[in-house]
């Protein structure tokens, strides 16, 4: 799933994977209060926008969160 999302959105946001078996990766994963696996979307301000532990992420949910962070679909006009 991540590879496909990175192909679609990689030019607009960074993607990285952390290895929970490494000391550094395990510490970073623990800092987000995740088990040994999960996904995190960090907003442009560095805050955690969305996270989900385990292997239960659904593509549609993750993609919707990515679009929200990127502002995809938001109107930039004054509208009316």
50 assigned to some structural domain:
yes
37 assigned to some structural domain:
yes
Neighbours of 44 (CB within 10 A): 10
Q: Which domain holds residue 25?
A: 2-70
SS3 of residue 53 by DSSP: strand
Answer whether residue 78 shows pLDDT above 70: no
76 assigned to some structural domain:
no
77 assigned to some structural domain:
no
Answer whether residue 77 shows pLDDT above 70: no
Task: Give the model confidence (pLDDT) of 12-60 as tens digits.
Answer: 999 999 888 999 988 988 899 988 889 999 999 999 999 999 889 999 9
Number of domains in the chain: 1
40 assigned to some structural domain:
yes
> What is the predicted pLDDT for the residue at 58?
95
> What is the predicted pLDDT for the residue at 73?
77
80 assigned to some structural domain:
no
Tell me the C-alpha distance between 59 and 67, whole Å.
12
Answer whether residue 75 shows pLDDT above 60: no
Q: Distances in Å between the alpha carbon of 5 and those of 9, 58, 61?
A: 6, 12, 12
């Amino acid at each position: 799933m991540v590879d496909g999302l990175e192909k679609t959105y990689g030019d607009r946001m960074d993607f990285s994977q952390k290895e929970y078996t490494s000391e550094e990766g395990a510490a970073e994963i623990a800092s987000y209060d995740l088990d040994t696996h999960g996904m995190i979307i960090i907003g442009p301000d560095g805050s955690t926008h969305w996270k989900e532990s385990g292997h239960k992420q659904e593509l549609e949910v993750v993609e919707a969160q990515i679009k929200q962070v990127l502002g995809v679909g938001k109107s930039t006009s004054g509208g009316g």
